[in-house]
Amino acid sequence: MTINNNMLDIKYIRENPDKIQKASKDKGIEIDINHILEIDERYRELNAVVQVLREDRNKAARLQLPRGEASGGQAKEKNIEKGKELKVQLEKEEKALAAVKEELDNWMYKIPNPAKDDVKVGKNELENEVIRTFKEPTKLTFSPRDHLELGELLDIIDVKRATNVSGARFAYLKNEGALLEYGLLQLALEVLLKEGFIPVIPPVLIKTSTMRGLGYMENGGDEDMFVIPKDDLVLIGTAEHALVPMHKDEVILKKDLPLRYLAYSPAFRREAGSYGKDTKGILRVHQFNKIEMVSFVTEGEDDKEHDLLLSLEEKLFQMLDIPYQVVKMCTGDLGFPAARKYDIEAWMPSQNKYREVTSVSTVTDFQSRRLNMRYLDGNEKKYLNVLNGTAFSMNRPIIAILENNQKVDGSVKVPEVLQKYVGKELIEKK
What residues are annotated to the active site?
269, 284, 356, 359, 396
210-244 pLDDT per residue, tens: 999 999 998 888 889 999 999 999 999 999 999 99
Residue that terminates a domain, selected from 58, 81, 108: 108
282 residue type, one letter: I
| 53 and 132 both lie in a single domain | no
Residue 167's pLDDT is 95
In a domain, 10, yes or no: no
Strand, coil or helix: 209: helix
Distance CA 167, CA 277 (A): 17
Distance CA 370, CA 366 (A): 7
In a domain, 119, yes or no: no
In a domain, 284, yes or no: yes
19 residue type, one letter: K
CA dist list (Å): 291 to 301, 345, 403? 23, 17, 22
Residue 4's pLDDT is 36
| 143 and 187 both lie in a single domain | yes
Listed residue (71, 168, 144) closest to 403, CA to CA: 144
| 149 and 94 both lie in a single domain | no
> Model confidence at 3, in pLDDT bands (50, 70, 90)?
very low
Residue 275's pLDDT is 63
Distance CA 369, CA 8 (A): 8
| 280 and 326 both lie in a single domain | yes
Domain harbouring 47, CATH code: 1.10.287.40
Specify the range with the lowest mean pLDDT, choosing from 25-34, 272-281, 364-373. 272-281
Residue 225's pLDDT is 95
The helix or strand, by DSSP H or E, that contains position 61, with its residue range, turns out to be helix 33-63
Listed residue (373, 334, 400) closest to 113, CA to CA: 334
Domain harbouring 190, CATH code: 3.30.930.10
In the beta sheet, which residues pair with residue 264? 291
294-313 pLDDT per residue, tens: 999 999 999 999 999 999 99
Q: Are 49 and 93 in contact (CB under 8 A)?
A: yes
Residue 145's pLDDT is 97
Looking at the structure of the chain, the number of domains it has is 2
pTM given for the model: 0.90
Residue 2's pLDDT is 34
pLDDT average, residue stretch 350-378? 96
Distance CA 290, CA 131 (A): 25
Residue 141's pLDDT is 95
Residue 80's pLDDT is 72
Largest CA distance in the chain: 107
| 291 and 353 both lie in a single domain | yes
Residue 199's pLDDT is 98
Distance CA 23, CA 114 (A): 5
| 100 and 245 both lie in a single domain | no
Is the previous residue joined to 258 through a cis bond, with omega within 30 degrees of 0? yes
pLDDT average, residue stretch 358-387? 96
Q: 40 lies in which domain range?
A: 32-108
pLDDT average, residue stretch 273-288? 80
312-335 pLDDT per residue, tens: 999 999 999 999 999 999 999 999
Distance CA 214, CA 67 (A): 53
Average pLDDT, the chain: 92
In a domain, 164, yes or no: yes
| 158 and 189 both lie in a single domain | yes
State how far Cα 180 lies from the chain centre: 27
Q: Are 332 and 122 in contact (CB under 8 A)?
A: yes
